[in-house]
């Protein structure tokens, strides 16, 4: 092997300048992970050629293959300064060796990476530190694999393992003490815009900074989680929202920087108490530590010339490269050997968000990923140089005490405490209310008992009073009896004897007391007698009272019976009143009917009168004709015709008059039927017997013009035959008129008969009804209505009879 200048740049001296034990060096760790070759690299057109060689768990060499890797191996000769200088200007070829906090080769396991690289930072968050894990590297080098990996199993990445560890550590209670609250948030920076991956509607979020919270994303949703499973669900949800796309180097390339944030609050010491005014009491020995773990999966850098990206993909790549370049600038500024000039955190959202993680209050671990393939030599070398530079960053990590007492855990505990106290207060109130109700119930019961007792007492005292009164009455009676006995006033021989012996006994005892007999030794018998007397008297009085009570009871029953009877009478009276009202209505209707009939009758009379007048005039004319006929000679036709006409007229007049009178004097049962019966003679002519004086009267009447014409015609008859035929003609007309009249009369009679019969039957019904309901009714009134009805019935019968006679 020819001697060639060593082109190995060994950064180990710079990277490990600080001993691992010092805090600042510990706070910013840089690890390298080399992924295994992918199938596409192994099976590609160009045979796979390796360029990254892991030499130990802390050192790695990258070689473009232009010289043997082991060229310096075994020489142990450090490069001369001139050689180093030459190397610095020949960065893109040759062999480069780097030393870091840890180097993981292609065969490294997820668990190893987590345990040695991530775990210390993760557990430090439980102690109140900020910790950040940043996966850096070219696209397709395994950043997402390291951070997320598979959700379950051996391939689980740092994030799921970190979450599990957080909960495991809390639950196992090892070094951790107190109460914990774990919250999670998930965001992505895509095209320099911040998105909330757990609330996709929240976009374009702003980064803010304040003294208490440091740098934070305003409006980013935080989710309280109680188990690794809950966190896994959040991660899955967020991963679905994350921007990915296929690139030449990676089929599922992350096109955004993703940050999964876990905040752990730990309250230690005494309980958080709430002051009366609602604030917290800082003096109660409670300390709340707030640790924040940022798990950052950066989008991969990509050479535009190689990516072949265009359009949106090109824009994404540019933005990704720009933000990664800003990250490089921040790191350069932070590691500037001239000191710490302006650090351009604000040049990108990524660096702004990672302000604390880069040179601030944080325990940061950067895992830089490289591809083993020679084709990625240039990017790999660039990554290693970047990592080497970052390794010089110094962070100052300190425990975050929640001095302002605004930690969410504190707030939640206070809220919990407040709610608990409210609950207990309400429960107490409820109990109080229940007690109050019970007491109230008891009070009511007691009041009722008291009232009942008072009533009973009143009853008892009333009874006692009565008893006392009775007793006093009895005593009074006894006294009066005794006084009677003392004076010996005829109260019976037995009593007199008893008292007499009592007095004797009293005298013997030289006692002047009225009841001395009972007290004295010899008065024992007297006292017994008196008692017997009193007993008897008592019995008598009792009997007397009992009989009085019975009498009173009887009286009470009688009164009740009377009252019931009165009620019945009252009901009957009401019924009778209703019947009277109905009857009065019927009578009024009947009066109305009678009035109508009266009017009809009067009309008929009027017509009758006119007919009679006409007949009278005819009669006069006939008489004149008769005279003329007599003068002409016997048995002439004119004479016969005149006689027949006179008879006819006379009959008609009589008939009219009788009918008229019959109706006018309808109430008179001894109705006279004037007029005559029409008799048909053998000759066929009608014969009218002249029974009326009017028929033979010779009185002359003023003849009206029409009827006068008949007379005039008769008087001026040229021959008797002509006269006769005229008269016969007229006679026939009169007969026809009479027949019409008779028909009319018959019809009128039928109507009248029906109406009168109806009225009569109504009256009969009324009378019957009255009879059946005359219980307690005025007897005179009933009788008078009955009489009226009977009279009407008789009147009707007579009328009907008379009419029948007229007809026959």
Query: CA-to-CA distance for 134 and 18, rounded, in angstroms?
Result: 21
Closer to ligand ATP by CB, 143 or 363: give it: 143
Q: Does residue 760 contact residue 796 with C-beta atoms inside 8 Å? A: yes
Considering only residues 25, 105, 128, 142, which one is a binding residue for ligand ATP as defined by CB under 6 A?
Answer: 142
Q: Is 138 annotated as a binding residue?
A: yes
Q: Does residue 158 contact residue 113 with C-beta atoms inside 8 Å? A: yes
The reply to whether 105 sits near ligand ATP by the rule CB under 6 A is no
Closer to ligand ATP by CB, 41 or 526: give it: 41
Query: CA-to-CA distance for 15 and 389, rounded, in angstroms?
Result: 8
| Rounded least distance, CB 307 to ligand ATP, Å | 10
Closer to ligand ATP by CB, 38 or 491: give it: 38
Residue for token pair 């009165």: 566
Letters for 671-710 (x = contact with ligand ATP by CB under 6 A, - = none) are ----------------------------------------
The stretch near ligand ATP (CB under 6 A) out of 139-147, 201-209, 496-504, 653-661 is 139-147
| Rounded least distance, CB 312 to ligand ATP, Å | 15
Considering only residues 288, 299, 499, 792, which one is a binding residue for ligand ATP as defined by CB under 6 A?
Answer: 299
E strands within 308-386? 363-370
Closer to ligand ATP by CB, 36 or 151: give it: 36
| Rounded least distance, CB 93 to ligand ATP, Å | 25
The stretch near ligand ATP (CB under 6 A) out of 133-141, 193-201, 260-268, 716-724 is 133-141
| Rounded least distance, CB 375 to ligand ATP, Å | 15
The stretch near ligand ATP (CB under 6 A) out of 245-253, 287-295, 474-482, 525-533 is 245-253
Contacts of 144 (CB under 8 A, 6+ apart): 135, 157, 254, 297
The stretch near ligand ATP (CB under 6 A) out of 60-68, 141-149, 647-655, 676-684 is 141-149
Closer to ligand ATP by CB, 318 or 735: give it: 318
Q: Is 21 annotated as a binding residue?
A: no
Question: How is residue 626 annotated by DSSP?
Answer: H
The stretch near ligand ATP (CB under 6 A) out of 132-140, 565-573, 583-591, 753-761 is 132-140
Closer to ligand ATP by CB, 254 or 695: give it: 254
Cβ neighbours of 66 (radius 10 Å): 10
Residue for token pair 């300048």: 17
| Inter-CA distances, 360 with 300, 345, 393, 499, 633, Å | 24, 12, 10, 134, 181
| Inter-CA distances, 230 with 147, 227, 264, 381, 526, Å | 18, 5, 15, 40, 113
| Helix residue spans in 114-173 (DSSP H) | 119-126, 143-147, 158-172
Residues 32-91 touching ligand ATP, rule: CB under 6 A, are 35-36, 38
CB burial of 6-23 (b: ≥16 within 10 Å; e: otherwise) equals bbbbbbbeebeeeeeeee
The stretch near ligand ATP (CB under 6 A) out of 43-51, 137-145, 438-446, 637-645 is 137-145
Contacts of 267 (CB under 8 A, 6+ apart): 178, 179, 180, 286, 287, 288, 407, 409, 410, 413
| Rounded least distance, CB 132 to ligand ATP, Å | 17
Residues 143-202 touching ligand ATP, rule: CB under 6 A, are 143-145
Q: Does residue 372 contact residue 382 with C-beta atoms inside 8 Å? A: no
Residue for token pair 């109305």: 592
Closer to ligand ATP by CB, 37 or 178: give it: 37
Query: CA-to-CA distance for 642 and 619, rounded, in angstroms?
Result: 9
Considering only residues 27, 63, 123, 253, which one is a binding residue for ligand ATP as defined by CB under 6 A?
Answer: 253
Residue 296's nearest CA partner among 500, 491, 133, 520 is 133
Q: Does residue 477 contact residue 537 with C-beta atoms inside 8 Å? A: yes
Residue 10's nearest CA partner among 391, 388, 380, 335 is 388
Q: Is 535 annotated as a binding residue?
A: no
Considering only residues 128, 140, 328, 372, which one is a binding residue for ligand ATP as defined by CB under 6 A?
Answer: 140
Considering only residues 25, 137, 380, 675, which one is a binding residue for ligand ATP as defined by CB under 6 A?
Answer: 137
Counting residues that bind ligand ATP (by CB under 6 A) gives: 19
| Rounded least distance, CB 33 to ligand ATP, Å | 7
Closer to ligand ATP by CB, 300 or 523: give it: 300
Considering only residues 7, 9, 250, 266, which one is a binding residue for ligand ATP as defined by CB under 6 A?
Answer: 250
The stretch near ligand ATP (CB under 6 A) out of 70-78, 134-142, 224-232, 495-503 is 134-142
Considering only residues 95, 254, 266, 378, which one is a binding residue for ligand ATP as defined by CB under 6 A?
Answer: 254
| Rounded least distance, CB 177 to ligand ATP, Å | 37
Length in residues, the chain:
808
| Rounded least distance, CB 52 to ligand ATP, Å | 13
The stretch near ligand ATP (CB under 6 A) out of 135-143, 399-407, 443-451, 561-569 is 135-143
| Dihedral angle, C-alpha 451, 457, 459, 463, nearest 10 ° | 180
| Rounded least distance, CB 95 to ligand ATP, Å | 23
Closer to ligand ATP by CB, 11 or 250: give it: 250
CA 360 to chain CA mean position, Å: 62
Element (H, E) at 33: strand 28-34
Closer to ligand ATP by CB, 247 or 355: give it: 247
Q: Is 543 annotated as a binding residue?
A: no
| Rounded least distance, CB 113 to ligand ATP, Å | 8
| Rounded least distance, CB 202 to ligand ATP, Å | 23
| Rounded least distance, CB 289 to ligand ATP, Å | 33
Query: CA-to-CA distance for 334 and 571, rounded, in angstroms?
Result: 121
Residues 351-410 touching ligand ATP, rule: CB under 6 A, are 369
Residue 305's nearest CA partner among 293, 314, 294 is 314
204 φ/ψ sector (left φ>0, alpha ψ -120 to 50, else beta) = left
Q: Is 140 annotated as a binding residue?
A: yes
Closer to ligand ATP by CB, 166 or 243: give it: 243
First to last CA, the chain: 183
Element (H, E) at 642: helix 637-664
Query: CA-to-CA distance for 168 and 172, rounded, in angstroms?
Result: 6
CA 356 to chain CA mean position, Å: 58
| Rounded least distance, CB 265 to ligand ATP, Å | 31
Could you list the residues that contact ligand ATP (CB under 6 A)? 35-36, 38, 137, 139-145, 247, 250, 252-254, 299-300, 369
Q: What residue numbers does the annotated binding site cover? A: 137-144
Q: What residue numbers does the annotated binding site for ATP cover? A: 137-144
């Amino acid at each position: 092997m020819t001697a060639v200048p060593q082109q190995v740049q060994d950064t180990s001296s710079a990277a490990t300048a600080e001993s691992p034990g010092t805090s600042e060096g510990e706070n910013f760790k840089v690890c390298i992970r080399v992924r295994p070759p992918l199938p596409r690299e192994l099976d590609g057109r160009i045979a796979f050629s390796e360029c990254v060689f892991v030499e130990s768990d802390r050192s790695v060499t990258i070689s473009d293959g232009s010289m043997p890797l082991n060229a310096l191996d075994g020489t142990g000769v450090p490069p001369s300064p001139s050689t180093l200088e030459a190397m610095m200007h020949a960065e893109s070829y040759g062999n480069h060796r780097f030393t870091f906090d840890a180097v993981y080769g292609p065969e490294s396991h997820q668990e190893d990476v987590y345990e040695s690289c991530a775990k210390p930072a993760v557990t430090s968050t439980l102690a109140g530190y900020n910790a950040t894990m940043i996966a850096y590297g070219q696209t397709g080098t395994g950043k997402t694999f390291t951070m997320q990996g598979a959700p379950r199993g051996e391939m689980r990445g740092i994030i799921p393992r970190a979450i599990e560890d957080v909960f495991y550590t809390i639950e196992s209670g090892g070094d951790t003490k107190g109460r914990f609250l774990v919250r999670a948030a998930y965001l992505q920076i895509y095209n320099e815009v911040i998105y909330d991956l757990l609330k996709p509607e929240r976009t374009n979020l702003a980064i803010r900074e304040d003294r208490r919270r440091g740098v934070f994303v305003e409006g980013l949703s935080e989710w309280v989680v109680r188990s690794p499973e809950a966190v896994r669900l959040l991660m899955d949800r967020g991963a679905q929202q994350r921007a990915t796309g296929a690139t030449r180097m990676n089929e599922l390339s992350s096109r955004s920087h993703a940050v999964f944030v876990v905040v752990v609050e730990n309250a230690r010491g005494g309980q958080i108490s709430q002051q009366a005014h609602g604030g917290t009491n800082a003096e109660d020995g409670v300390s709340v530590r707030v640790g924040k773990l940022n798990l950052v999966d950066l989008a991969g850098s990509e050479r535009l010339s190689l990516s072949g990206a265009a359009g949106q993909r090109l824009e994404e790549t540019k933005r990704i490269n720009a933000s990664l370049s800003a990250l490089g600038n921040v790191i350069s500024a932070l590691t500037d050997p001239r000191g710490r000039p302006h650090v351009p955190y604000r040049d990108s959202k990524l660096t702004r968000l990672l302000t604390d993680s880069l040179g601030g209050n944080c325990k940061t671990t950067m895992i830089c990923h490289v591809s083993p393939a020679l084709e990625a030599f240039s990017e790999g070398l660039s990554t290693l140089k970047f990592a080497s530079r970052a390794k010089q960053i110094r962070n100052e990590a300190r425990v975050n005490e929640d001095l302002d007492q605004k930690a969410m855990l504190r707030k939640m505990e206070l809220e919990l405490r407040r709610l608990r106290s409210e609950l207990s207060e309400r429960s107490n109130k409820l109990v109080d209310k229940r007690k109050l109700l019970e007491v109230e119930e008891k009070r009511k019961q007691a009041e009722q008992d008291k009232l009942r007792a008072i009533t009973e007492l009143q009853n008892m005292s009333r009874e006692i009073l009565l008893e006392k009164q009775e007793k006093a009455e009895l005593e009074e009676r006894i006294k009066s009896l005794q006084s009677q006995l003392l004076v010996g006033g005829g109260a019976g021989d037995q009593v007199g004897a008893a008292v007499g012996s009592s007095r004797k006994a009293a005298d013997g005892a030289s006692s002047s007391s009225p009841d001395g007999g009972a007290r004295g030794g010899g008065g024992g018998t007297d006292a017994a007698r008196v008692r017997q007397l009193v007993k008897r008297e008592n019995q008598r009085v009792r009997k007397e009272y009992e009989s009085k009570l019975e009498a009173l009871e009887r009286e009470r029953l009688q009164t009740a019976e009377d009252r019931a009877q009165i009620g019945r009478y009252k009901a009957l009276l009401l019924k009778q009143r209703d019947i009277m009202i109905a009857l009065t209505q019927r009578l009024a209707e009947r009066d109305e009917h009678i009035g109508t009939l009266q009017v009809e009758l009067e009309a008929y009379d009027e017509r009758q009168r006119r007919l009679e007048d006409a007949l009278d005039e005819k009669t006069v004319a006939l008489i004149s004709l008769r005279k003329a006929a007599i003068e002409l000679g016997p048995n002439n036709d004119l004479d016969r015709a005149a006689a027949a006409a006179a008879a006819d007229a006379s009959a008609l007049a009589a008939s009219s008059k009788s009918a008229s009178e019959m109706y006018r004097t309808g109430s008179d049962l001894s109705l006279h039927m004037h007029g005559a019966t029409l008799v048909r003679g053998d000759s066929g002519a009608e014969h009218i017997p002249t029974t009326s004086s009017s028929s033979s009267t010779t009185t002359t009447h003023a003849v009206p013009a029409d009827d006068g014409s008949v007379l005039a015609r008769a008087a001026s008859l040229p021959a008797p035959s002509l006269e006769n035929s005229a008269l016969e003609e007229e006679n026939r007309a009169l007969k026809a008129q009479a027949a019409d009249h008779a028909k009319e009369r018959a019809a009128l009679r039928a109507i009248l008969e029906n109406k009168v019969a109806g009225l009569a039957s109504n009256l009969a019904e009324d009378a019957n009804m009255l009879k059946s309901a005359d219980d307690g009714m005025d007897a005179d009134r009933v009788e008078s209505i009955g009489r009226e009805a009977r009279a009407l019935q008789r009147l009707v019968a007579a009328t009907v009879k008379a009419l029948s006679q007229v007809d026959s």
